[in-house]
Each structure stands twice: as structure tokens, then as C-alpha cells.
Amino acid sequence: MANVTYIAPVKAESTIHKIRCAAYCRVSSSSEDQLHSYAAQVKFYSEKFIGSETEELVDIYADEGISGTGTAKRTEFQRLIRDCKRGKIDRIYAKSLSRFARNTKDCLNTVRLLRELGISIYFEKENIDTAKTNDELIITVMGSLAQEESTSIAQNMRWGIRKQME
């Protein structure tokens, strides 16, 4: 009778690395409808990556009640960029371009910086994926619209305050 030696299979380490994703959420005021939007954004991204075989959620970065016209006061946005520079993130998701930035210059500079770091951004509402397009014209136009909308809202608020004071 032949002598049979059983050799157990050795599990190879998985060569599939999940894409490390982050979500950026922001609302510009603390009004009830804005807070509902904020909670909805955070909930959506908390659940989006559950069970994904290709992506994993690193963190949710969320600025509440802060304007998107600048980046200086957006502490979570600043933390997101720091984590990107540290190599912790491969991809960013945002509800819309206007949630990410309402200043065209800041938006383009940030997109360019992230592109240099090899990080893509997906804007859900506009269906813009910087991993699939290098067309800054689309981002510039959408960013300009978001910036103009912010300016218009501010002007309307100032007008309303003036009328109340009269």
C-alpha cells in the first residue's frame, strides 16, 4: 500500500486591498432643516460601505453650521486634508460639490492637491468623479454656480434684515 502524506493548504494573504474612503458632510446653518440634512448625510455615509468588498470607510468628516465659502473655519475639512496628506485616504465622497466648497478657487486648489496625492473625489448629486475625468471645466462651472448661490443667499439675508429694521 502507498504511503500518502497530507499537506494542508496554506492561506495566502489577500492581495485585494480595499479602497480607503472618507465622507465629507457639511451644512451651513443650524436651522432645523439643515440639521436634518446633516444627520441624513452622516447616516447615509455611515451605512454606504457596510458589506462592500472593494471599499471601506475610514472616517466621516462633518462640519455643522459652517459656511462653505472658505476653508479656514471648517475644522473637519482641515482634518480631512491632513489625513489625506498622511496617506490615510484613497477616495472622498461628498453629497454635492456645494457641500465640498462654495468658493471656486478653494475648490479647484483642493481638487488639484488631492489629485496630486492620488486621491479621487466623487460628488454624488452631480455624478462627478475626479478619478474618471480630468475636466476641470465642469468642476469650475459647478463650483462657480455654488459660489454664486452662496452670494445670492447672503444678499437676500442682508436685504431681509434691512427690511426688518425699516
Q: At 123, which amino acid appears?
A: F
Q: Does the residue 61 lie in any domain?
A: yes
Which CATH number covers residue 48? 3.40.50.1390
- pLDDT value, residue 72: 82
Beta bridge partners of 26: 63
Residue 82's domain comprises 19-165
> Looking at the 3D structure of the chain, how many domains does it have?
1
Contact of 97 with 24, CB cutoff 8 Å: no
Gap between the Cα atoms of 51 and 54, Å rounded = 9
Instruction: Concatenate the DSSP letters of all residues of 2-46 into one string.
Output: ------PPPPPPP----EEEEEEEEES--SHHHHHHHHHHHHHHH
Q: Is 137 exposed, middle or buried (0-12, 13-18, 19+ CB in 10 A)?
A: exposed
Q: Which of 27-41, 43-57, 70-84, 109-123 has the lowest mean pLDDT?
A: 27-41
Q: Does the residue 2 lie in any domain?
A: no
Q: Does the residue 106 lie in any domain?
A: yes
pLDDT tens across 111-120, in order? 889 999 999 9
Q: Does the residue 70 lie in any domain?
A: yes
Of 46, 54, 110, 44, which Cα lies nearest the Cα of 82?
110
Q: Does the residue 96 lie in any domain?
A: yes
Cα–Cα distances in Å, from 21 out to 87, 112, 133? 11, 18, 19
Q: Does the residue 55 lie in any domain?
A: yes
Query: Does residue 73 carry a pLDDT above 90?
Result: no
Gap between the Cα atoms of 26 and 80, Å rounded = 12
Task: Supply the mean pLDDT for the chain.
Answer: 80
Q: Does the residue 8 lie in any domain?
A: no
Q: Does the residue 9 lie in any domain?
A: no
Parallel, antiparallel or unpaired: strands 91-94 and 120-123: parallel
